[in-house]
Structure 1
Amino acid sequence: MTFSHFPFPTPMKIALGSDHAGFAQKEILRAWLGEQGHEIRDFGTYSADSMDYPDVAHPLAMAVETGTYDLGIILCGSANGVCITANKHAGVRAAIAWLPELAALARQHNNANVLCLPARYIGSEQAQEIVSVFLKTDFEGGRHQQRVAKINS
């Protein structure tokens, strides 16, 4: 299954962040997303120095929760920490993806609005492909809408 052959949707407002383990890939994604015409806000971190991922994940998730940004993308070593943290916010549906197919399903079936990437387990090209799929895929609604509606209940 190849996803990269259809164009990006209308440029989006994207909240982007990482901890120290995801810093290098975040920088690559920030530049690439900007080249695609998206409006990016970098929530940090701004170096590879050790830091606490909730310090980035909470403000990023809040920006998505309030609708200030359309979608969020956040990286850490395994993606688990940032995913757990982001999902503490009402209205945030953060999902980990290490394959494009998982990013597509997260959008189609779960209406995920924050993509969590495991920086230590994927390369930059793979990260771009996963992000591309995440941004290009729509929520299917239908039978999935009822399930998504029950998440915050």
Structure 2
Amino acid sequence: MTISIGNDHAGPDYKKAIVQMLEAKGHTVINHGTDTFDSVDYPDFGHPVANDITQGKADFGIVICGSGNGIAITVNKHQGIRAAICWTKEIAGLARGHNNANIVSIPARFTSIPQAVEIVDTFLNTAFEGGRHATRVNKIDCM
């Protein structure tokens, strides 16, 4: 599986740990994130992740910023993107299982690095349930 990841200055350590886990599991990672803690603008790192998914270059995306909100709002501007802010593995499972989310947004200032790794692992290993959830998800993209 190919995963695209992007982060601002709140997430370099998170990204490093997540990428390590992904690569250890044999995934290919496209890195659009910053590696420094110098202040940057999260849209500069979120838009390329969304583009990777909409262009078929990546199967899923991971975005990281302080609250998870700004970068999630950014990627959700792209048609066909369903990003979910997840601060527990349970929410990550529901985001995939019920909402068919294709990007997980990690709030770095509200999760630990081990939690973030667990959130991503759950997100990627949960299948979309379809059924009544598919009807609802289809209504999202009706514009």
Q: TM-score range by the shorter chain?
A: over 0.9
Instruction: Note the residue ranges of structure 2 that are not aligned, 5 or more in a row.
Output: none
Count of residue correspondences = 142
Give the match's secondary structure for 1:144.
helix
Equivalent in the alignment of 1:104: 93
Equivalent in the alignment of 2:83: 94
In 2, Cα distance between equivalents of 1:135 and 1:110: 13
Give the match's secondary structure for 2:67.
coil
Letter in 2 for 1:19: D
- TM normalised by structure 2 equals 0.96
Cα deviation digits, residues 117-144 of structure 1 (max 9, x gap):
0001111111111111001000000001
Letter in 1 for 2:72: C
Give the match's secondary structure for 1:107.
helix
Which of residues 112, 121, 126 is equivalent to 1:137?
126
Give the match's secondary structure for 2:11.
helix
- TM normalised by structure 1 equals 0.90
Equivalent in the alignment of 2:49: 60
Cα deviation digits, residues 60-106 of structure 1 (max 9, x gap):
11111122100000100000001000000011000000000100000
Instruction: Note the residue ranges of structure 1 that are not aligned, 5 or more in a row.
Output: 1-11
Which of residues 24, 40, 44 is equivalent to 1:35?
24
- Contact (CA 8 Å) 1:14, 1:72: kept in 2 or not? yes
Give the match's secondary structure for 1:138.
coil
Letter in 2 for 1:20: H
Give the match's secondary structure for 2:72.
helix
Equivalent in the alignment of 1:49: 38
Off by >6 Å, runs of 4+ in structure 1? none
In 2, Cα distance between equivalents of 1:100 and 1:55: 27
Give the match's secondary structure for 1:95.
strand
Equivalent in the alignment of 1:69: 58
1:148 maps to 2:137 = yes
Letter in 2 for 1:30: V
Task: Quote the offset at 1:33 in angstroms.
Answer: 1.1
1:115 maps to 2:140 = no
